[in-house]
């Protein structure tokens, strides 16, 4: 480290984070200065511009790969992938939130600011290569989502969701921090590459195993992997739907990025069996739990646990196949899940009263377009060909097969069959059952329409032409190997 003072290029390497923070602060200031009527619209516009600017900044960043701030931050094709993903999800969630905040009568200002601040943390997680910085980024992202989960202030479930998430979440972060401390004790460093070199040198002590396990508990909680998943259904049920769309995809993607770095770059010991068990548990418990749900938000919460399980299978595979498979999965899961929750948030209506399976009965009659859109997302979640969900599963399963994890793959295939059943229940309700009470469904606003169109196109694009995204991800993995 010859230069004590950060260079200009260092700042470029955290440009998306800077952009998001600046826009977040601007949204708060703007909110304070506006009158009641304009407050609903302008902050959202500004936040949207901020998210899009962050996408642009991440793409711009790709010309300046390298590390910054004394090796704390690493900009490579991997980090750019996740930056773009997080910023894009943020933008889509903001688009969905316009209409939602208006129907729920939630004050807009801090909401958008918090989403942007959360995105700062998530972006930073994917480029941080130093465990303390990762911890800070994790906290930034988590604290924003704790607050966002409780944003339906008038609903008791929302407050419950927020408190539950906060208490359990802080507990989990403490685990992570404990793990960081132990690995520092074992290796004398908090830099992932140094730790990796240390672990590869062959002196793997009991301390290192414990450290990895503890870090895994903390991260496993954040991605809602079993057995650390108990919070998920309650939190997802209570939190505002657009927020669920956000926190079931963006922070998860970021945490998966961190896990990929720790598991593969640091060559974490004992990885395969740890992940085998957690992936198997997540798939099975998630799918079995989802079978008996009558609330669509809870159902999707359990489904997200199951999907975390499928995704984790990639972590047990070889880096060359596992990393691209996991990256592809996060992208396609983000597209389909954000889309599905966008529909759920639209249909929820005032106070999110209409979220049970019965409320979806006869939907194909009242709003055929919305029903058809949700159908595509659900088919993708099932894993039907020509949707992103199919190739996501395909790559993960074949990566696991190549690592000879036949048992895990069989379990995954069986779970997919079980999964088909409960997604089918939503389809059956929408198309084959009649509504008991005719509730006129509200018109789709421009923002929501745009959000649905983008996620729909992304879901189908990834299913019809998965090549480009996969090649990008494979190149990333190849870069790492060097």
Partner 1 sequence: MLESSILTLVTFIPLAGALLLMLAPRRDRDIRIFALVVTLLDFVLSLHLPAHFHRAHSGFQFELDSAWISRPNIHYHMGADGISMWLVVLTTFLTPLCVLISWRSIHERVKEFFIILLILETALIGVFVSLDLFLFYFFWEGTLIPMALLIGMYGHGRRVYAAIKFFLYTMIASVFMLAAILWLYAKVGSFDFVTIQTALRSGQVENFPAAAAWLFLGFFIAFAVKIPLFPFHTWLPDAHVEAPTAGSVLLAGVLLKMGTYGMVRFDLGLFPEQSRANTWWIAILALIGIVYGALVAMVQPNLKKLIAYSSISHLGFVVLGIFTFTQAGLDGATFVMLAHGISTGALFMLAGILYERRHTYEMSDFGGLATSMPVYAAFFLFITLASVGLPLLNGFVGEFLVLSGAFRAQPWWGILGATGVIWSACYLLWMYQRVFFGKITHEVNAGLPDLSGRERAALWPAAVIALLMGVAPLLWLNQIENSVHAILAPYATLASKVVGR
Q: Which residues bind partner 1 (CB under 8 A)?
A: 364-365, 368, 379, 384-386, 394, 397-398, 401-402, 413, 416-417, 420-421, 424, 428, 431-433, 465-467, 470-471, 474
Residue 233 or 466 with smaller CB distance to partner 1: 466
Closest separation between CB of residue 355 and partner 1, Å? Answer: 21
Our CB check for partner 1 shows the closer of 141 and 415 to be 415
Task: State the nearest-atom distance from the C-beta of 348 to partner 1, in Å.
Answer: 24
Q: Distance between CA atoms of 122 and 124, rounded to whole angstroms?
A: 5
**What whole-number distance in Å separates Cα of residue 124 and Cα of residue 136?**
9
Tokens of 401: 């097969």
CA 342 – CA 303 distance, rounded (Å): 16
Q: Are 71 and 133 in contact (CB under 8 A)?
A: no
From 141, 162, 142, 140, select the one nearest 150 (Cα to Cα).
162
Q: Which residues pair with 130 in a beta bridge?
A: 191
- Beta carbon of residue 213, minimum distance to partner 1 (angstroms, whole number): 33
Whole-number minimum distance, CB 474 to partner 1, in Å?
8
Least separation in angstroms between residue 94's CB and partner 1 is: 29
Nearer to partner 1, 68 or 361 (CB): 361
Residue whose CB is less far from partner 1, 215 or 378:
378
Q: Following DSSP, what letter does each residue of 385-418 receive, concatenated?
A: TTSHHHHHHHHHHHHHHHTT-HHHHHHHHHHHHH
Residues 6+ apart with CB under 8 A from 409: 313, 397, 400, 401
User: Residue 25 CB: number of other CB atoms within 10 A?
Assistant: 13
Compute the distance between CA of residue 105 and CA of residue 209 in angstroms, rounded to an integer: 49
The least CB distance from residue 424 to partner 1, in Å, is 6
d(CA 472, CA 37) in angstroms, rounded, equals 45
Measured distance CA(21)–CA(140) in Å, rounded: 11
226 vs 376, beta carbon nearer partner 1 = 376
Nearer to partner 1, 199 or 409 (CB): 409
CB of 421 to partner 1, least distance (A): 7
Nearer to partner 1, 22 or 417 (CB): 417
């Amino acid at each position: 480290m010859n230069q004590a003072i950060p260079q200009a290029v260092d700042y470029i390497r955290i440009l998306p984070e800077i952009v998001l923070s600046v826009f977040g602060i601007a949204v708060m200031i703007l909110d304070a200065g506006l009158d009641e009527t304009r407050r609903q619209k302008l902050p959202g516009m500004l936040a949207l511009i901020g998210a899009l600017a962050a996408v642009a900044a991440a793409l711009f960043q790709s010309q300046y790969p390298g590390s910054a701030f004394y090796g704390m931050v690493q900009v490579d094709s991997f980090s750019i992938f996740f930056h773009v993903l997080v910023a894009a999800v943020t933008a889509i969630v903001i688009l969905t939130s316009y209409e939602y905040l208006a129907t729920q009568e939630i004050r807009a200002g801090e909401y958008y600011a918090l989403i942007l601040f959360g995105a700062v943390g998530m972006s930073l997680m994917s480029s941080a290569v130093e465990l303390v910085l990762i911890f800070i980024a994790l906290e930034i992202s988590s604290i924003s989502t704790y607050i966002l989960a409780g944003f339906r202030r008038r609903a008791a479930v929302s407050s419950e969701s927020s408190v539950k998430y906060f208490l359990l979440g802080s507990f989990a972060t403490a685990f992570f921090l404990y793990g960081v401390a132990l690995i520092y004790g074992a290796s004398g460093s908090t830099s992932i590459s140094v730790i990796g070199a240390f672990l590869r040198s062959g002196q793997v002590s009991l301390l290192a195993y414990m450290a990895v396990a503890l870090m895994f508990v903390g991260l496993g909680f954040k991605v809602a992997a079993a057995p650390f998943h108990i919070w998920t259904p309650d939190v997802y049920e209570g939190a505002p739907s657009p927020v669920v769309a956000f926190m079931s995809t963006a922070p998860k993607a970021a945490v998966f990025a961190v896990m990929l770095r720790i598991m593969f770059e640091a060559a974490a010991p004992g990885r395969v069996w740890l992940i085998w068990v957690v992936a198997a548990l997540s798939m099975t418990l998630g799918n079995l739990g989802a079978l008996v749900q009558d609330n669509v938000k809870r159902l999707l919460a359990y489904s997200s646990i199951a999907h975390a399980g499928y995704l984790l299978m990639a972590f047990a595979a070889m880096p060359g196949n596992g990393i691209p498979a996991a990256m592809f999965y996060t992208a396609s899961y983000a597209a389909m899940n954000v889309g599905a929750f966008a529909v759920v948030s639209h249909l929820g209506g005032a106070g999110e009263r209409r979220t049970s399976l019965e409320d979806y009965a006869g939907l194909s009659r009242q709003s055929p377009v919305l029903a058809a859109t949700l159908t595509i997302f659900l088919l993708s979640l099932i894993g039907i060909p020509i949707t992103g969900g199919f190739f996501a599963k395909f790559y993960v399963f074949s990566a696991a097969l190549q690592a000879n994890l036949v048992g895990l793959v069989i379990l995954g295939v069986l779970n997919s069959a079980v999964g088909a059943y409960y997604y089918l229940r939503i389809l059956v309700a929408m198309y084959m059952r009649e509504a008991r009470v005719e509730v006129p469904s509200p018109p789709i606003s421009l923002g929501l329409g745009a959000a649905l169109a983008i996620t729909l196109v992304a879901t189908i694009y990834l299913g019809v032409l998965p090549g480009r995204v996969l090649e990008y991800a494979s190149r990333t993995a190849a870069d790492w190997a060097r």
